[in-house]
Each structure stands twice: as structure tokens, then as C-alpha cells.
Structure 1
């Protein structure tokens, strides 16, 4: 009966995630959608803590550690969200996204450690003999994607607050592709390696994934960072979905799929709007000098002039057509309603 109630909690959480995402599509319902999805996550967390039982019928323990971590994390999150300035919101989103990637990666690391210790007990010759292929693929994907998301998000956070500068050098394409290829090769080597060396290969896989995450974001300019943050956000979602597969957790699986799909679609739309190539984003040279394409996407045409408010009113009074190009500053000033009133006039 407890398992049935927990399943209902996960289904309810999954439904609230979908409803919340739908409500986020409109400014009028976005705040309420955020609260609805958060309530569903709270139900899933509480249900897991008090209703979950393993295959031997054992419940979770160490409640003091669990709730201490929840309270500390909640306090840090609330204080950070309250104090952050609107102009610093992108870097806070990048930081929080990095924490999600790290969490997903650690889940895979812990699961690998559990499987590896089990393999040592049964004394199989090769690691592949003690773990199903699909199970290992979920572990490896979660560890690799989560590590890339964590490292990349931390670099993006540092670049947005001015701690890191753009780093562009020759053969950056080749180096990034080489590191990524080594990550994939080491993951396969881990699966087919003997139990004596499998853990070393897995550690090397995670470390190289972290290095790739850093190299992936280093060359990207600040103006292009929102696209990369969106892509890294989708990576975190995919890594979380891998955790859902590992633990057969419907809420984690649904949330990860939603974040991964939404982040991927947003990345593609932003690249298309900016006349950029998603391939350049994936190989880590997006926005770098060696990939600057010729054409109107990188050059300014026409002329512009800053004028006073009264002059702007005079110009618009006699203009046949007016084009308003909103930027991030308009959102920070919360002037969208005033801009809409101007549009109607």
C-alpha cells in the first residue's frame, strides 16, 4: 500500500511538472505555474523520504542528515534568490543549473560504486559480466552529461560575473573533439575492463568529462552565453532523466525529460534567431574568432543616433513605421507594460 501511495505521489508530481511548464508559457500564469511545479516536487521529496522502501523492505534512515541538508539548501537558495540583482539573474541561473548537473553526476557515481562493489563480491572476471548494458549506459550517460553540465555551468557563471575571460586558441576544434572522443572511448573501456581496473577507467571518464565541460565553454563570448546556458540546462535535464532510469523514479524521469526537451528546443530557436550553428555550440567553439562568419550576422549596417525623450516623441509622431527592439535592459527596468502602451499609441 505504501508503494502504491508513493507511485501516486510521483504521478501527481509529474502532472504538476507538465502543468507548471504549460503555465510558464504565459506571463499571466508563469508565477503560479512555478509554484504548482514546486509543490509537486515537494510532494515527491516528502513521499520518497517517508514512503520509500528498498527490495528488502527497509526504509530510508539518517533523517537528521537528510533534513539538515534540505534546510541548509533551502536557506541558501532563498537568500540567494532574494538578494540577487535582476542584472545578475543569468549567472545565478547558470550556478543553480551547475548544481543540478553535479547532483545528477554524483547519482551516477554512487550507483557505479554500488555496482562495482557488487561485482567485487561475486568475483566476476569483467565488469560487463555483473551489470546489464542498459544499466551501465544510464550510469555512464548520467555521469558524463552531468559532469559536462556542472563544469560548463561553473565556467559560464564565472564568465558572466567577470571572473573568467574568453580563451581562444588554434586547433580548439580538434582538441575539444579529441577530449570528447576520449570520454566516449573510456566509457566503453570501463564496461569491458576487468574488475581490477574498471573503477580507474570510470574515474578517468568523469575527470575528462569535467575537462571537456571547461573547454566547451571557455571560448564563448558573453553575448552568446544565454544560448550556452540553455544548452547546459538541457544537459542537466537529460542527466536527471538518466537518474530516473537508474532508480525507476517517474517524477525524476518526467522532470528530466521536460527540462531536456524544453532546453534543447529553446537552444535551437535561439541559434536560429541569432543565425548561429548548433554544431559550433556542441564542439565548443561557438562565438570564437575562428568561427566568425561573414555576412550581416556579424556586421552592423545603417546608422543610429541616441536622442532625448522629447526628440523621440517628435520623431515617432511623424514616422510612418516604428520598430521597437527590446533588450535585457527593458526587462530589468520592468518597462514592458510602458513599452506596450507606447506601441498602442
Structure 2
């Protein structure tokens, strides 16, 4: 059945109403979220963006729109559906891992590798199918179902500690899906916005992956985070020895130190102990100790979060150093 065309006033009414409802829900959902829990809503927002791209392209194909035909449009539409659906399900799994609703350890099962190889092959077949039959519901729904499953299977084998990097990568996927939807819908604004999100997410993913001693290729092929970590070693290759110290012992060591580098992490962020750390650093500085902070890119949950927490405690920006600078 052909859809009844809507007038300009109805379109603006839907747009404004959706903006008001969406803004209200976003403000309500984000209110009161702790800084350490920020990756979860970011991941959910990624899922919403990916899902919106899928719905937009699917709605266009089912509307018998003239722009929905042609090989170039079918390929871009297929990419938008696949990337959007993968982002949707993968982001939900990532948020579940961060929230503790899904097991944080890598979830692997027999045949998982093979299962991650089959969906890309089916995507290629489905894309070829859509070129002569862009209104095929079997191909469209098949794309969505397989892509949703693929998003789950590529994120489950990843450990919970690596989720911030995965969320940044999925953020780039969201932008790509929106950009592809913009090509299909012939909307320049969607193309520009999507490419901005995609490029910024990709640029953010690279330093995060490097800081976690991973590679983006491991993320893409689904083997990310599944390898056993090597034990810490000294420069000679011998296993490193750890010593337990009391608070008094640490205080004595700090008092006689000439230079102290603090490495704040997730525990400090969760305990909101940045003010106490800043007081300790100020006391050391007054005694002539050179103080610095080596900030890991993912410390606090997401890039920049630890910098914000330390800024709340009035830590001088000049004392903040990258990990490589802190090792010098």
C-alpha cells in the first residue's frame, strides 16, 4: 500500500516533537551518572545512532521511493544496515559488560571463529541480491538479523577491561552508518555529521588501543582481548617482584623522594579520591618534591575523564603528563 504524503507542517511537527522527547529522555537518563559509569551511556547512545540508521534506510526501501533503486544506492543502503545493526547489538553488549549485566571475562565457545567469518560472506551475497531487488524484504530483514548476531559475537569474546576501546570503535561505526544513510537519503547534513563522528571515533580509538597494548586489527577480527596477558618482567626478563607496603612506609619513602609520579587509575576515580591525592601532592611540593601525574588515556573509564577529575581538585595542568613522559 502506498503511503500517504505528508505536508511540510506535519513533518516539522514530528521533527520538533521528536527533538523535545529525545532531549528530555537524554537529560533524564544522563542526570546523576557517575564519571566512572560514563562508558555505559556512551555505548547506549552509539546503539541508538546505529539503530536509527538502520530504521531510516529500511523505511526508505519499503516506501518504494525512486531514490532507493540502483546499484550504488543498494550497496550504500546495505552498508548502512549492516554497520548500524552491528553497532546496535555490539554497543548493547559492551554496555552490559561495563555494567556487569554480561560476563566481563571473554565469552568464547566452540566454533566462534567460524561464526564470525560467515556473516561477512552473507553480507556480500545479500548486497548483490539487493541490486536487482532493492525492495526485497527477505534480503533486508536477513541483513538486520545476521548483523545483529554478528555484533554480539564479535563483542562477547572481548574482556570487560577493554570495553572503552571497543566503545570508541563502535562510535566510529555509528558515524559510518549515519554517513551511509545520508548517501542513500541524499542528505548532506547526515553525510557530514556521520563522517565527523566516524573520523573522530577512529582517531580516538588508535591511541586508546596503543595505550592498552592492542592493535585495531585485533579488534576488527574479533580476537581482541582473548589472549592471556604475559606476567610482568624486569628489564633482564626475570619475573618482577611485588612488595606490599604499609601507609607509614609509603609516607617515609615519599618524604625522602626527589621526584614523585602519581599514576591515577579507576580505583581513584571510583573512590572520588582526587582531592586527597591533590592535598598529598601539595604537601610534597611544599617540601621541595617534584610532583607529576602520569595519566593513562583510559584512566577513569574513558579518555579525558581522569583529566577532568584532577581538574576538579585544582591539580595544575602543567603537572599532567602522558604515560611516555611519565616514564622519563
In the TM superposition, what whole-angstrom CA distance separates every residue of 1:40-99 from its partner, at most 9, and x where no partner exists?
xxxxxxxxxxxxxxxx99625254444333222212111111122223211111111111
Which residue of structure 1 aligns with residue 38 of structure 2?
89
Which residue of structure 1 aligns with residue 58 of structure 2?
109
Which residue of structure 2 aligns with residue 185 of structure 1?
125
Which residue of structure 1 aligns with residue 158 of structure 2?
220
Gaps in structure 1 of 5+ consecutive residues? 1-55, 120-128
TM norm structure 2: 0.73
Which residue of structure 2 aligns with residue 26 of structure 1?
none
The verdict on how the C-alpha distance between 1:162 and 1:194 changes in structure 2, with shifts beyond 3 A counting, is closer
**Residue 257 of structure 2 corresponds to residue 319 of structure 1:** yes
**Residue 18 of structure 2 corresponds to residue 69 of structure 1:** yes
Which residue of structure 2 aligns with residue 276 of structure 1?
214
Separation in structure 2 between the aligned mates of residue 146 and residue 118 of structure 1, nearest angstrom: 21
Moved more, 209-218 or 241-250: 241-250
Which residue of structure 2 aligns with residue 126 of structure 1?
none
TM norm structure 1: 0.70
**Residue 220 of structure 2 corresponds to residue 286 of structure 1:** no
Q: Is the 8 A contact 2:69 2:134 kept in 1?
A: no
**Residue 88 of structure 2 corresponds to residue 139 of structure 1:** no
Separation in structure 2 between the aligned mates of residue 149 and residue 207 of structure 1, nearest angstrom: 13
Separation in structure 2 between the aligned mates of residue 89 and residue 63 of structure 1, nearest angstrom: 33
Which residue of structure 2 aligns with residue 237 of structure 1?
175
Choose between structure 1 and 2: higher helix proportion. Answer: 1
The verdict on how the C-alpha distance between 1:202 and 1:194 changes in structure 2, with shifts beyond 3 A counting, is closer
The verdict on how the C-alpha distance between 1:206 and 1:317 changes in structure 2, with shifts beyond 3 A counting, is same
**Residue 108 of structure 2 corresponds to residue 168 of structure 1:** yes
Which residue of structure 1 aligns with residue 240 of structure 2?
301
Q: Is the 8 A contact 2:158 2:225 kept in 1?
A: yes
Separation in structure 1 between the aligned mates of residue 65 and residue 7 of structure 2, nearest angstrom: 19
Q: Is the 8 A contact 1:95 1:154 kept in 2?
A: yes
Superposition deviation, residue 194 in structure 1: 8.3
Which residue of structure 2 aligns with residue 260 of structure 1?
198
Superposition deviation, residue 280 in structure 1: 2.0
Superposition deviation, residue 257 in structure 1: 1.1
Separation in structure 1 between the aligned mates of residue 229 and residue 9 of structure 2, nearest angstrom: 56
Separation in structure 1 between the aligned mates of residue 169 and residue 10 of structure 2, nearest angstrom: 36
Separation in structure 1 between the aligned mates of residue 232 and residue 8 of structure 2, nearest angstrom: 61
Gaps in structure 2 of 5+ consecutive residues? 292-328
**Residue 197 of structure 2 corresponds to residue 248 of structure 1:** no
Separation in structure 1 between the aligned mates of residue 36 and residue 239 of structure 2, nearest angstrom: 25
Superposition deviation, residue 303 in structure 1: 1.3
Separation in structure 2 between the aligned mates of residue 253 and residue 138 of structure 1, nearest angstrom: 12
Equivalenced residues, count: 273
The verdict on how the C-alpha distance between 1:199 and 1:78 changes in structure 2, with shifts beyond 3 A counting, is same
The verdict on how the C-alpha distance between 1:78 and 1:323 changes in structure 2, with shifts beyond 3 A counting, is same
Which residue of structure 2 aligns with residue 12 of structure 1?
none
The verdict on how the C-alpha distance between 1:170 and 1:296 changes in structure 2, with shifts beyond 3 A counting, is farther
Moved more, 322-331 or 177-186: 322-331
Q: Is the 8 A contact 1:92 1:157 kept in 2?
A: yes
